[in-house]
Structure 1
Amino acid sequence: MPRERITESFTRAGLNLIQQALSIYDADLRLAVSNRPFQEMFGLPERLVSPGAGFEDTIRYLVESGEYGAVDDVDDFVRTRVEQARAFQPHYMERTRANGRTISVEGSPLPDGGWVTVYTDITPAKRQEALLRARSEELSDQLLSHAEELSRTNRQLEATIAQLQEAKAALGELEARTRTVTEMTPAHIAHVDADGYYTFTNRRLSSLLPGRQSDIVGRSFAEALGADTAAMLQPKLAAAADGTPTLTEFTDPSSGRRIRTAFTPDERGEGGVYLLSTDVTQETQARAALEQTHKREMAAQLTSGLAHDFANLLTIILGLQTQLEKMPLPDGAKDLTAATRLAVRRGGRLLDKIADMTGAREVRPAPVVIDDFLASFEPLARATLPGSVTLDLQNALSHKALMLDAGSVQDGLLNLVLNARDAMEGKGAITVSLRDVKGTWLEIRVTDTGPGFSDAALDSALNPFFTTKGQDGSGLGLTMVYDLVKLAGGTVQIGNTEGGAQVLLRLPLRPVTDETQPRLILLVDDVDEIRTQVREDLIGLGHRVLEAASAEEALALADLPGLDWVLSDIRLGAVDGVALLTDIAAHHPHLHLALMTSLPASDPLRMTGARRWPVLDKPVDPGALHALMTQEVAA
């Protein structure tokens, strides 16, 4: 803290310890300094004891609050006092206030203008003087001595009380500041006493664990967290209570959120434990996705060489079979060579699936309208089902759109629907339901009315090459679903219900914000192939696209209602993209505008456009498109 701030703090604290009220006004009749007794003596609001408060406003407030008793003409009274203040003279006076108390007022001018005034409550002294005058002949010297001693004691007591009040005020300010800081911290901070009851909380528990209460002071550990979560954490709490600091991570059973909690012993000798809990769900999701990526990379390294050699062997076998089939063979041999050829092809398909699993794969989330996603998924899924199998899609999400890799999710769901169809042997019902789990997870539940998973499948269904379909299955279907979900930072659970099998997918819930809502975009480019490529990228990001092949078409379409964006190439022929956007901006200032070009950064036309709008380099990357729109709209 600067020395001036320290000096100012000490000065103010010292003035507040003075029993008399004090005020200093400058030559412009503006308050420069006052102490707390000045505010308390006259009951002034904060605005009138803040530096810069006007003397006239203060006098008017005192008159209207009855400080001077009944005043016939308030304006005249205030004007007179202000005029006296402007022609200030040193003075000392005593006056009785409307509340019956007597104060002395002592004012002195300052060298540079303005004045300082000290107000002293002399009511006790006046009463004592009156009493002494009335009964002076009856009082002995001893009584007078005791009165003087009592007066001194009272003054000392008043000084002590003033000091305590100042210390209390400073402590209150510190406590308020500490409370504000802890409540702003994006974590739950709490203290549990030796008996397991909360004695402090920063009221952030409900933001970490939905469904819990925020004000939990006085509640037990189990009551505040819930029986299941408390039972899981009780050993950690007990260890910290015994003096061993502990850090742990756990998954909340009700919300699925991942929480990291530090248990720190209370070393003040009072027993109990301090708790610091943070939500690490997104960190855990990212960590799971990274771990899956590393696993895939390792699997790719291990299998690439083997797959290459295996493919060579299959090629050799296939070549030998071809030669054998050209030779005269005994009866039944051709059936064996045909079976060998089928086995080779099956091995080739298996290699393709292994390549798909271990090859490079990147999750590309984009805005997806859930109803549109289900509407496009339903005909694909129904096309694989016989008429004796029903498909029911249920959407219980409150969010209209989410950030998803729609292709990966669609592939995974189709795989699960096909598995369910095969398990039911072509007859039954399949249900796909979507719901929000505590604002943390998108839960996709696929159930069927088949026989359910066997015990062996429950143990091994997610392992590569495990299958219950015999020669008809590769054992990679559920493994691929697991891989897709883990790459997105999610989880997969399999189990049985009373009516059949169930697969539960949980993906990180990423609601589409205003910045990523699907938008209507006017795309302008005079090259059909480029326009097609950019249009497909925009549609892949969840947006709707109108196309124009010239500046004239673009100007006509720019008047359409509901348009959000115009993305134009710079070179359009007679009218360039910069001139086009300039015209559109003049008539439609609400539209978001951007350019795309293959011109170098030093090109004058590009530099002119870049001064006003974002410019994308061709070929345009979908990630750059998404980043451009979110950044531009957020700005």
Structure 2
Amino acid sequence: MSNTALIQAGLNLIGQALTIYDSDLRLAACNARFAEMFDLPEALTTPGSAFEDTIRHLVTRGEYGQVDDIEAFIRARVETALAFEPHYMERTRSNGRVISVEGAPLAQGGWVTVYTDITGIKAQESLLRTRSELLSEQVLKRSEELASTNRQLAATVAALEEAQRELREIEARTRTTTEMMPAHIARVDAEGRYTFSNRKLGAVMPGRPSRLLGRHIAEALGPAYERVRPYLERAMAGEQSTFEFTDDVSSRRIRAVFTPDPLEPGVYILSQDVTLETQTRAALQQTRRREMAAQLTSGLAHDFSNLLTIILGMQSKLAKLKPGPEAEPLITATLQAARRGGTLLGRIADITGQRHWRPEPVRLSALLSDLRTLAVPSLPVGITLETQDLTNGPLLLDTGLTQDSLLNLILNARDACVSKGQSGADGPAGRITIMARELRETWLEITVCDTGPGFSREGLARGLDPFFTTKGGEGSGLGLAMVYDMTKLAGGEARLSNTDSGACVTLRLPLRRADTLPRTGLVLLVEDSDDLRATVREMLTGMGYSVVEASSVAEACLLADGLPDIALVLSDISLEGVETGVDLLDRLPDLPVRLMTSLPEGDALLAEARARVPVLTKPFDADGLEAFLGLTTEAAA
């Protein structure tokens, strides 16, 4: 038997008549007692029958006695039903029976009504009135009033209990909803103590307690409270505040909204972790700045290059004329200045030209090892380079840009140590230290410190500005600016500081962990060029993989459905048919997919692919593919 039949059978056992109408005044359910009490035809007790039709049937049959204007009577009853409110009433039917009518609205719309035959109760009251000679008329009247009041109170209590149940359900649904939201939602009273919290503060700001009821907001937020206090005070005064701040404890970027409670003193709080959004926004802003700078400088650089070419040509002619010993130093100095201008143009082009952050899986230990190989030969005797990697597992970084930036910082640190007179043959007098560590699962922090004289006050304030230099004519003032540009391009930040022993540059890059790809197994290779597919297949088998091949997205999906043990999908972006390797990311969401391409920089499809997964640029060799997949000896260490 279905649940509907069971419920109906239960309703039919109730001794009172019961009806449930929906918000459109259509019958949703009733019991057999309802049909019996009012002698209704089956059509009016079938779910879906109209309330108006039932009233019309009862009126025309004389249920309500003599009614002069039947349609007006029906219309009034329908309007009352549409504006339904809880009620209790008693009425005498045309057949002399007395019934009580008790109604209560439903949260979903509509209402439930219970009809009780109280003829016997009223008869007992009448009998008590006529036969009792000991009770006064006032006592009898009061007894009747109390009986009627009790029935009304019982109806009211039932309505209140139903309302209380609905409120509990609403509260439970509200709490479930707030608990599932990726944000901290709370309320504090006028004293700053939590009266509600969805227990998400610890997720938004790691290190904070999750159970907050009764705690003061200063205790919950710790050091961050001083940053938010001015905004909280404004909200307590009736002004909504929206702001962002960096939580020093967790290094997360937090966006918060404080909204005054309009009903009683207090403030509603909504806070979100927007670290990833901030990093992405910073990278986008830096890209736009670079594009604007490129547009502004490209024309100037072109004209300046032409002028330098003319200057170099004229000075070369002057040198050939042998104008005399007094003029030769001037000519030489002019040529050097012109060549220096050409070098400067090249550095400007490096900053403003099209560069993109191309993350790929890399182990910091391998990157720092390669960096030592590049940097150590350029260090004078007596200056040492120390590296320390405290990271765990492969990370997504642009190897080229990161290595270029660190090499730039090493050379700056070398010059600082030399300027302090710390190089010599008697032993290591100068030291450059590079340390990489993970910061609270949010940042990759790389510090480059030296034992030089440190930054001057002006250097700390302006060191990252383009063209600022303390090296006089020997410096371009673009070294640290290029490091700053790289960091912003990644969505990070750069800081200058001094230590007890010298200067320190801190780079914070967004911490992105690379997926650890399997070192063996079956690879689905998707490439539409037969020759290139054969070459890449040979590379993969040489690494120990088994390979199956496809030339289109449709073919790759068929193979993936039939081969459940695929360990990796390596696909070109441009394939046979209209679908691309980017579409393959959506078609095979449960498999690790890596893309390769020969598309030019600036291509929209390439940009979309890089925003989702690492992309290997063609041409590449076996070593490049191993490094891309994180399978080199250093990467596997």
SS in 2 for 1:424: helix
- Measure the CA separation in 2 of the matches of 1:583 and 1:189: 47
Aligned partner of 1:512 among 503, 511, 514: 514
The 5 Å alignment of 1:41-440 reads 161-227=157-223, 229-268=224-263, 270-398=264-392, 400-425=393-418, 426=423, 427-440=429-442
Q: Pick closer, same or farther for the CA change 1:336–1:235 going to 2, 3 Å.
A: same
Q: Pick closer, same or farther for the CA change 1:503–1:518 going to 2, 3 Å.
A: farther
SS in 1 for 2:317: helix
How far apart are 1:158 and its partner, in Å? 5.9
- Measure the CA separation in 2 of the matches of 1:491 and 1:568: 43
Q: 2:492 matched to 1:490? A: yes
**Percent identical:** 49
- Measure the CA separation in 2 of the matches of 1:495 and 1:376: 26
Amino acid at match of 2:240: P
How far apart are 1:248 and its partner, in Å? 1.3
Amino acid at match of 1:424: C
- Measure the CA separation in 2 of the matches of 1:615 and 1:446: 33
Q: Pick closer, same or farther for the CA change 1:272–1:305 going to 2, 3 Å.
A: same
Answer yes or no: is the 8 Å Cα contact 1:244–1:264 preserved in 2. yes
Answer yes or no: is the 8 Å Cα contact 1:429–1:449 preserved in 2. yes
Amino acid at match of 1:245: Q
The 5 Å alignment of 1:437-452 reads 437-452=439-454
Q: Pick closer, same or farther for the CA change 1:212–1:314 going to 2, 3 Å.
A: same
Q: What are structure 2's unaligned runs of at least 5 residues?
A: 19-28, 32-133, 424-428, 580-586, 601-605, 616-628, 630-637
- Measure the CA separation in 1 of the matches of 2:147 and 2:322: 134
SS in 2 for 1:547: helix
How far apart are 1:258 and its partner, in Å? 1.8
- Measure the CA separation in 1 of the matches of 2:519 and 2:179: 32
Amino acid at match of 2:474: D
Structure 1 window deviating more from structure 2 (156-165 vs 443-452): it is 156-165
Match of 1:502 in 2: 504
Match of 2:538 in 1: 547
Q: What are structure 1's unaligned runs of at least 5 residues?
A: 1-7, 23-32, 36-139, 536-544, 549-553, 571-576, 604-610
Query: How many residues are paired up?
Result: 473
Answer yes or no: is the 8 Å Cα contact 1:367–1:516 preserved in 2. no
The 5 Å alignment of 1:463-474 reads 463-474=465-476
TM-score (norm 1): 0.63
- Measure the CA separation in 2 of the matches of 1:489 and 1:597: 26
- Measure the CA separation in 2 of the matches of 1:389 and 1:302: 41
Match of 1:457 in 2: 459
SS in 2 for 1:409: helix
SS in 1 for 2:384: strand
Q: Pick closer, same or farther for the CA change 1:350–1:630 going to 2, 3 Å.
A: closer
SS in 2 for 1:391: strand
- Measure the CA separation in 1 of the matches of 2:15 and 2:216: 47
Amino acid at match of 1:181: T
- Measure the CA separation in 2 of the matches of 1:578 and 1:161: 66
Answer yes or no: is the 8 Å Cα contact 1:567–1:593 preserved in 2. no
Q: Pick closer, same or farther for the CA change 1:286–1:323 going to 2, 3 Å.
A: same
Structure 1 window deviating more from structure 2 (290-299 vs 157-166): it is 157-166
How far apart are 1:290 and its partner, in Å? 2.2
Answer yes or no: is the 8 Å Cα contact 1:597–1:617 preserved in 2. yes
How far apart are 1:531 and its partner, in Å? 7.1
How far apart are 1:334 and its partner, in Å? 2.7
RMSD: 4.7
- Measure the CA separation in 2 of the matches of 1:265 and 1:581: 54
Q: Pick closer, same or farther for the CA change 1:418–1:566 going to 2, 3 Å.
A: farther
- Measure the CA separation in 2 of the matches of 1:453 and 1:468: 9
Amino acid at match of 2:486: L
SS in 1 for 2:293: helix
Answer yes or no: is the 8 Å Cα contact 1:210–1:255 preserved in 2. yes
SS in 1 for 2:258: strand
Amino acid at match of 2:280: A
Amino acid at match of 1:335: P
How far apart are 1:368 and its partner, in Å? 2.2
Match of 2:566 in 1: 590
Task: Tell me the alpha carbon deviations over residues 558-595 of structure 1, each in whole angstroms, 9 at most, x when there is no partner.
Answer: 9x7565x656669xxxxxx9999999998995355567
- Measure the CA separation in 1 of the matches of 2:526 and 2:453: 56
- Measure the CA separation in 2 of the matches of 1:328 and 1:353: 33
How far apart are 1:287 and its partner, in Å? 2.1
SS in 1 for 2:328: helix
How far apart are 1:453 and its partner, in Å? 0.4
How far apart are 1:432 and its partner, in Å? 1.3
How far apart are 1:177 and its partner, in Å? 0.2
SS in 2 for 1:418: helix
How far apart are 1:357 and its partner, in Å? 0.9
Amino acid at match of 2:350: D
